[in-house]
A and B are shown apart, each in its own frame.
Chain A
């Protein structure tokens, strides 16, 4: 409004702010409740801070560049037991398998429930099924997965003994079960985003003679891309951090052990470890008992998960104030419709 210089701004503007309400006049019980809320909030901040600071201090102290490029080795000597190259690769493989399966399946499920949802009874059933899966502890999923993947008809997904029995533990097995773990998160955020798109946008597309399918493909999905991405990032965070499925379904060998001679497929049918299982094994509770390595790996794990969380926050615009927008956010935001901003 400066340009025209029509009306000069007041020299000493009186800024009106709402007066802070004093809690002194409140009933005692309200005041106690209020302070309890405060106390809990501060306690939570302290805990979060303690975790990050503790892991940071411990982690940095033991973190060496060599740890990222050396495979773990069986040795009681700390200097001989190698690094966590294989666990990092394992985490990447598991996350990739889980995401590649869960992302399209989750988006498709969410679109079907929100945009079609017929027959209604089936849609309700699918909704409840997703809720059930979201609530199942991952260790239960893992045990169930072991049962399934030990079936002989799924033998091609893992190692087979000479007598024909199926091992049932492999990157494939763990990755597929991880996909189930991540699915509810992706379905949830996609559905929520679809519900936010006003019906008038759909109608505008129908009014141009577009089918429901092309409306979804060319109007709805592009406009909720940030929320889909954040759902996927949430799911990845869940996969990266899960331990139970890894311990039960990945076999937890120290290094990545392929099966057969086909290069990539062989690795995926074989066993290995991830950062979570590495931390567990090297903690005082595990067999390796190399707490320093465990701290370093835990620090890396924490950073990965925090980075994924930050990505989610960025993508959904949860923290608008301050901070430069990442290139990704900007790229997505340029395509974001007003109702998601």
Chain B
């Protein structure tokens, strides 16, 4: 079978057993593969437990739009060195929870929160909001590059507030270096090295999304939030981004929302299953996919609903 096209999820549920490797047998295996690894390969690259460290903590968090509580009493750790996937049916509050982690929910009028969210032990509400958002960066479902050149997109993210390069000012070598590094980390640099000054809007959807990831990575965030980053992309772009996610988890704590269970299975180390605002199940991805403890998780994973 074509390694790019993994079998449908129900097949995985049946056939998966042989592929499963015990966790943490191959530390630091990630990041080496240039080609898209096979299903089995991905399962081998589990993070080294020694590098895993808690970055954020979500404690008994409730979130509401007006009177409508859409996230109810969720407690989750967000760790560096591993990927956390949020799965669940539409409307179960995944996006809301994700956006609350860098206080983007505050933009929505009437949004409210109860409970504690901490970043490195500090309540995020006590941090300066723009500072928090530089440390906890987000990539959205729709690629949304700014109407500037590719380079400026990254440089804008790098700079404290303004793009460092006015139309006439020269790029500093330092900035150029940092921007290239970010593009390289997002696996985009080699493709577009020749036309950094082209409009970012002329890139393909997959390239745009990787640019958005590069932009989000540029300021060296501690946590990267991804809201269905591949839902608008083709399988090859998706594979590239998944590869990227697995590679990035060593340095950044990653939370990804996805409707694609195969994707969650491929990239996530821990999985949280939400339903109607509640956290139904949370655990290592093998456990949630193979031995879910809750009936609702079992139903969801086997495609009985959602």
Binding site for B on A (CB under 8 A): 198, 200-201, 203-211, 213-214, 217-219, 222-223, 334-338
Chain B, Cβ-Cβ closest to A341: B201
**Which residues on the B side are within 8 Å of A198 (C-beta)?**
144
Q: Nearest chain B CB to A216's CB is how many angstroms away?
A: 11
Task: Determine if B102 and A207 form an interchain contact, defined as CB atoms under 8 angstroms apart.
Answer: yes
- The one of A206, A209, A219, A336 in contact with B146, judged by C-beta atoms closer than 8 angstroms, is A219
CB distance from B143 to the nearest CB of A (A): 9
What 4 A-B pairs come out closest when comparing CB atoms? Answer: A209-B134, A337-B147, A209-B133, A207-B138
Distance to closest chain A CB from B225 (angstroms):
8
Q: B299: CB under 8 A from chain A?
A: no
Q: Whole-angstrom distance from the CB of A224 to the nearest CB of chain B? A: 9
Docked Cα-Cα span, A335 to B138, in Å, equals 24
Q: How far is the CA of A133 from the CA of B212 in the complex (A)?
A: 43
Bound Cα distance from A206 to B132, whole angstroms: 11
19 additional A-B pairs beyond A208-B219, A211-B161, A336-B147, beta carbons within 8 Å, are A200-B144, A201-B144, A203-B104, A204-B144, A204-B146, A206-B107, A206-B133, A207-B102, A208-B137, A208-B156, A208-B215, A208-B216, A209-B130, A209-B131, A209-B137, A209-B219, A211-B130, A219-B147, A337-B146
Report A-chain residues with C-beta under 8 Å of the C-beta of B102.
207
Known: A208-B134, A209-B130, A209-B219. A203 touches B146 (CB 8 A): no
CB pair B201 A337 closer than 8 Å: yes
Closest beta carbon of chain B to A199's beta carbon, Å: 8
Say yes or no: A200-B104 contact (C-beta < 8 A), given A208-B133, A222-B148, A335-B147: no
Tally of B interface residues using CB under 8 Å: 28
Q: Which residues on the B side are within 8 Å of A335 (C-beta)?
A: 147-148, 199
**Minimal beta-carbon separation of A71 from chain B (angstroms):** 40
SS class, residues of chain A in contact with chain B: helix
The residues of B with any CB-CB pair to A shorter than 8 Å are 102, 104, 107, 130-135, 137-138, 140, 142, 144, 146-148, 156-157, 161-163, 199, 201, 212, 215-216, 219
- In the bound complex, residues from chain A placing their C-beta under 8 Å from that of B142 are 200
**CB-defined contacts of B216 to chain A, threshold 8 Å:** 207-208
A200 to B104, CA, bound (A): 11
A209 to B130, CA, bound (A): 4
Residues A222 and B161 in contact, CB atoms below 8 Å apart:
no
Complex CA gap A36/B123 in Å reads 69
A81 to B102 alpha-carbon distance, docked (Å): 73
Note all chain A residues with C-beta closer than 8 A to B134.
208-209
CB distance from B216 to the nearest CB of A (A): 7
Q: Kindly state the separation between the CA atoms of A126 and B122 in the bound complex, as whole angstroms.
A: 42
- Complex: how many Å from CA A201 to CA B157? 13
Contact B161 A205 (CB under 8 A): no
Residues of B with C-beta under 8 A to A204? 140, 144, 146, 212
Q: Is B140 within 8 A of A214, CB to CB?
A: no
Chain A residues with CB under 8 A of B215: 208
Minimum CB distance partner of B225 in chain A = A207
Can you list 5 pairs linking A and B with CB atoms under 8 Å apart? A201-B144, A210-B130, A210-B156, A223-B146, A336-B147
